[in-house]
Amino acid sequence: MTVQELFYSTYGYQPPGAWSAPGRANLIGEHTDYTGGFVMPFALDFRARIAANPRSDQLIRAVTPDITVQEIQLDHVHLGEPTGFLGYLAGAAWVLHNEYGVDHGWDFALQSDIPIGAGLSSSAAITCAVILAVSEIADLNLSQIQIALTAQQVEHRVIGTPCGIMDQLASMLGEKNQILFIDTSDFSHEQVPWNGDSHDLTILITNTKSPHVLADGQYATKRALCEQATEIINVEQLRDATLADLNRHQGQLSPDQQSCARHVITENARVLETKKLLLNDQLPLIGPLLTASHESLRDDFKVTVSQVDLAVDTALSNGALGARMIGGGFGGCTLALVKKVDAEVISARIATAFRNHDYKAPESFVASPAAGAQRDS
């Protein structure tokens, strides 16, 4: 059943169209997007699909293939309400109402094949798809960056996650066979070619099935530590700080503030080096940078968990050129740069390692950069 068929079977009339937006994986540049830094995400072939139609009242209704219709009045939406998938759809409608005067309710249908809670930005995909749909139906003519910024506001003002802008920009701006380089201080961006085929290399992503929850305060705590360090070091954004600045203010920074800032400073340098290598078609050389990113996230930023570390370590010990966790941390997915011929073996070795540790069975898949948000019909 397509999302339009789901819409029709639920509400009894045809929607004016269907829109979709992809999840994302981040090649490198973690916890740098809310500090004005550099990131290099790419869109995935998993997508959230939306069918939508405006209503004459202020009721918002939404349905998925697995969940019957849920509804809420537009003026009842606020921080923390509603929860679940309805929070993203109703939250998008509420932000559009407040920011752009879209003063009515909506009927929505949602289909998504993006793994939930895996750190692959299922929420950004949903909100971007909804806002793209509403922008076209309501003739708002929002730009791709405006849609991304509006989707970010849903996370901040309704869901309660103080996320950066990377996920939403990747979902909107992704292109096939391109890694998206973003300077999050001004949203300037560049498409960087991904030549995996010419090097017989691919990206292996493993969903570790470990808990991945960002709205419970852990993500916000890390962001606060970065903001505190920014103020103590006395720079406009943490991306402007250097390791020399960090050493100079060592006595004023708490150990947690110092280690979080060190991760951000070194991660930005790794992103810039990765971009340079890819532009020079030296893709195999980015492997050590990916691994160094993971070590920094594990030791300085302290956002990995045992399942994530096991997946990374197993990939590296079985031939991966580099590996790291992706997403906000505290669970979720890993990414490994592997030879195409090794992908299946490494995936199996990770599964065996998880079984030996009595962890949930992971799911692995190969990935390559895909297209961003679009109208499908």
| CATH code matching the domain that covers 3-26+40-190, chosen among 3.40.50.1370, 3.30.70.2190, 3.30.230.10, 2.40.110.10 | 3.30.230.10
Q: Are 172 and 148 in contact (CB under 8 A)?
A: yes
Q: Is-same-fold flag (3-26+40-190; 195-367)?
A: no
Percentage helix, strand, coil, to 5, in the chain? 45, 20, 30
Helix 122-137 and helix 144-154, axial crossing angle in degrees, nearest 10: 120
**Under DSSP, is residue 264 helix (H, G, I), strand (E, B) or coil?**
helix
Closest alpha carbon to 109 in 4, 250, 236 = 4
Closest alpha carbon to 376 in 120, 102, 132, 154 = 132
Instruction: Compute the distance between CA of residue 285 and CA of residue 339 in angstroms, rounded to an integer.
Output: 13
Closest alpha carbon to 324 in 366, 362, 296 = 296
Q: Which of 107, 167, 300, 342 is catalytic?
A: 167
Tell me which residue has tokens 């998206």. 180
pTM of the complete model beyond 0.75: yes
Token pair of 337 as six digits: 């740069």
Q: 106-112 and 59-63 as β-strands: parallel, antiparallel, unpaired?
A: parallel
- Active-site residue flag, 167: yes
Q: Tell me phi and psi for residue 183, to 5 degrees.
A: -95, 105
Mean pLDDT by 10-residue block, N- to C-terminus, for the chain (377 residues)? 98 98 97 94 97 98 97 97 96 98 97 87 96 98 97 96 90 98 95 98 95 66 95 96 96 97 98 98 98 98 95 98 91 95 98 97 96 97
- Domains of the chain, residue spans: 3-26+40-190, 195-367
Q: Is 311 exposed, middle or buried (0-12, 13-18, 19+ CB in 10 A)?
A: buried
pLDDT at 208: 94
User: Is CATH 3.30.70.890 what the domain over 195-367 is classified as, yes or no?
Assistant: yes
pLDDT digits (tens, 9 = 90+) for 273-317: 999 999 999 999 999 999 999 999 999 999 999 999 999 999 999
pLDDT digits (tens, 9 = 90+) for 242-257: 999 999 999 999 999 9
pLDDT at 220: 84
Instruction: Compute the distance between CA of residue 352 and CA of residue 93 in angstroms, rounded to an integer.
Output: 44
